[in-house]
Amino acid sequence: MLAPATTLPELAALLRRARLVVASDTGPLHLAVAVGTLSVALHGTTRPEDTGPYGRSHIALQETYDGGTSRRRRRAYNRSIRANRFEYVCATCELFFESRN
């Protein structure tokens, strides 16, 4: 489901009602984890060990990592996030969701 423009409390309510959230390493992902929703985090230029959410209610996916300084990574082309193959993400979501329910 794609959410319309929301306030932060509205977004938290939407995420709380979701059964599974798939998102890049952004605020809404962390908010989904905070409200207890199962989450699949897609990482590109950030390392899950450093910026990924904590706890058993999520899983982090990262096919490749472009090293270097944080400044270089912020200016990098999104090759890393695009390396997360759609089929792999879908299969992981199915297995993760089924294992938690």
User: What confidence score (pLDDT) does residue 34 get?
Assistant: 92
Contact call for residues 13 and 34 (beta carbons, < 8 A)? no
Q: Which of helix, strand or coil describes residue 37?
A: coil
Distances in whole angstroms, Cα of residue 87 to Cα of each of 25, 33, 91, 101 = 19, 23, 6, 21
Residues of the chain with pLDDT under 50: none
Residue 31, both tokens: 């908010």
